[in-house]
């Protein structure tokens, strides 16, 4: 996709004009003490975002290892060069990784509240480049103004986060925009027979919010280290779903969701990564750390395996 604009990582400060305690109370723990915007401190800060207990791993890891064999090599966040490019789809800038000229499956990837980070873009490329080779599209729902990590250093950070969730990250607004983008993608990629949807953190919540209505057109959905986990979201869920929780999600909620998903016979799967932080597959992952890199790889291998089963 030569010639398309490459975006820089320039997060902007969200408005702090609207208190939103209700929204914040749903979001896992108060953001208290991020010291810096560099990757190491973002990684460390997640312990202040979630304070819950780990649980067991319930998935047979040999399936993950099979998928790991086909994943491209994982590169640290400072060295990685994304393989796709940016294009406009119905008025939204989208990162698009399309390894095949006529893909038959697609994945709609919703990032976390920090927007385009190298770790997240590499995740999109992994999903696109690993067999069977989906077109993967990551829209910029925040129009170049994701949540600014620096806000968490200030007393106003909590209010700013609440305002961000009510405005830029509003779920109803996100659903409307996602369906508008999907319309454009169906025109752009007419060979795609099935679309899946995948999200990280807030994007995971948005994913379930969108895909719980079968009429929205997604054949399968997945989320990793999801925000605002709610077992009620999965009552009569219409499509196969993958939920990968971290050590910091609410254990009781995660266990209930896993029980629901693991009792289905449609390829759904729920599990907990008991030693991994909230954000291990997105902006908070430190891919210079071998242990985190390994977990990142296993997580994306699970997503690859899930969509291989459910999208074909």
Question: What tens digit of pLDDT does each residue of 147-182 get?
Answer: 886 775 577 777 888 889 999 999 999 999 999 999
- Residue 19 falls inside a structural domain: no
Mean pLDDT on 117-145:
93
Q: Residue 38 pLDDT > 90, yes or no? A: no
- Residue 74 falls inside a structural domain: yes
Q: DSSP assignment of 76-140, as one string? A: -TTT---SSEEEEETTEEEEEE--SSS-SEEEEEE--TT---HHHHHHHHHHHHSTT--EEEEE-
| CATH code of the domain covering residue 93 | 3.40.50.1820
Burial of 147 (0-12, 13-18, 19+ CB in 10 A): buried
CA distance 167 to 113: 12
- Residue 4 falls inside a structural domain: no
CA distance 221 to 204: 9
Provide the mean pLDDT of the chain: 79
Mean pLDDT on 10-39:
32
CA distance 56 to 63: 17
Q: Given the DSSP bridges, would you call strands 269-272 and 241-245 parallel, antiparallel or unpaired?
A: parallel
What sign has the CA pseudo-torsion 246, 171, 111, 30? negative
Token digits of residue 249: 């999600």
Q: DSSP assignment of 4-18, as one string? A: PPPPP----PPP--S
Q: What is the pLDDT of residue 35?
A: 29
- Residue 84 falls inside a structural domain: yes
Q: What is the pLDDT of residues 55-89, one digit of tens each?
A: 222 223 333 334 434 556 667 778 889 999 999 99
Q: What is the pLDDT of residue 143?
A: 97
Window from 7-16, 44-53, 77-86 with minimum mean pLDDT: 7-16
Q: What is the pLDDT of residues 254-293, one digit of tens each?
A: 999 999 999 999 999 999 999 988 988 998 888 888 989 9
CA distance 2 to 15: 35
Q: What is the pLDDT of residue 153?
A: 59
Q: What is the H or E stretch that residue 246 is in? A: none
- Residue 37 falls inside a structural domain: no
Q: Residue 127 pLDDT > 70, yes or no? A: yes
Please check whether residue 163 is in contact with residue 16, taking contact to mean a CB–CB distance below 8 angstroms: yes
Kindly indicate the confidence band of residue 50, based on its pLDDT and cuts at 50, 70 and 90: very low
Q: What is the pLDDT of residue 286?
A: 83
- Residue 71 falls inside a structural domain: yes
Residues in the chain: 312
- Residue 32 falls inside a structural domain: no
Residue 203: domain span: 54-146+170-311
Token digits of residue 273: 């990564």
Q: What is the pLDDT of residues 86-116, one digit of tens each?
A: 999 999 999 999 988 899 999 999 999 989 9
Q: How many domains does the chain have?
A: 1
Please check whether residue 259 is in contact with residue 42, taking contact to mean a CB–CB distance below 8 angstroms: no
Q: What is the pLDDT of residue 34?
A: 30
Q: What is the pLDDT of residue 41?
A: 41
What sign has the CA pseudo-torsion 60, 204, 254, 287? positive
Alpha carbon 43 to its chain's center: 16
Cα dihedral 57, 61, 64, 69, rounded to 10, equals 140
DSSP 28: S
DSSP 282: T
- Residue 16 falls inside a structural domain: no
Kindly indicate the confidence band of residue 32, based on its pLDDT and cuts at 50, 70 and 90: very low
Helix extents (H) in 134-193: 157-166, 171-188
Please check whether residue 163 is in contact with residue 25, taking contact to mean a CB–CB distance below 8 angstroms: no
Please check whether residue 200 is in contact with residue 221, taking contact to mean a CB–CB distance below 8 angstroms: no
* Rg of the chain over all Cα atoms, to the nearest angstrom: 18
Token digits of residue 305: 């395996």
């Amino acid at each position: 996709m030569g010639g398309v604009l490459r975006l820089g990582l320039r997060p902007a400060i969200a408005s702090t004009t609207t208190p939103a305690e209700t929204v914040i109370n749903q979001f896992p723990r108060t953001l208290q003490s991020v010291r810096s915007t560099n990757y190491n401190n973002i990684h460390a800060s997640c312990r202040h975002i979630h304070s819950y207990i780990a649980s067991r791993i319930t998935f047979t890891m040999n399936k993950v290892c099979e998928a790991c064999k086909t994943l491209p090599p994982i590169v640290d966040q400072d060295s990685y060069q994304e393989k796709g490019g940016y294009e406009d789809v119905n008025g939204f800038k989208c990162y698009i990784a399309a390894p095949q000229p006529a893909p038959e499956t697609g994945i709609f990837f919703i990032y976390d509240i920090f927007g385009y980070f190298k770790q997240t873009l590499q995740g999109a490329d992994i999903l696109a480049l690993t067999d069977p080779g989906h077109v993967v599209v990551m829209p910029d729902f925040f129009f170049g103004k994701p949540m600014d990590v620096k806000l968490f250093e200030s007393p106003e950070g909590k209010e700013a986060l609440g305002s961000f969730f009510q405005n830029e990250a509003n779920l109803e607004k996100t659903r409307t925009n996602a369906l508008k983008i999907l319309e454009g993608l169906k025109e752009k990629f007419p060979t795609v027979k099935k679309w899946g949807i995948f999200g990280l953190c807030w994007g995971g919540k948005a994913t379930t919010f969108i895909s719980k209505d079968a009429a929205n057109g997604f054949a399968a959905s997945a989320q990793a280290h999801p925000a605002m986990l709610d077992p009620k979201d999965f009552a009569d869920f219409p499509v196969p779903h993958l939920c990968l929780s971290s050590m910091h999600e609410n254990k009781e909620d995660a266990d209930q969701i896993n029980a629901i998903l693991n009792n289905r016979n449609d390829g759904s799967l729920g599990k907990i990564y008991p030693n991994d932080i909230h954000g291990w597959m997105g902006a908070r992952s430190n891919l210079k750390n071998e242990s985190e890199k390994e977990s990142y790889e296993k997580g994306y291998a699970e997503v690859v395996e899930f969509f291989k089963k459910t999208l074909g």
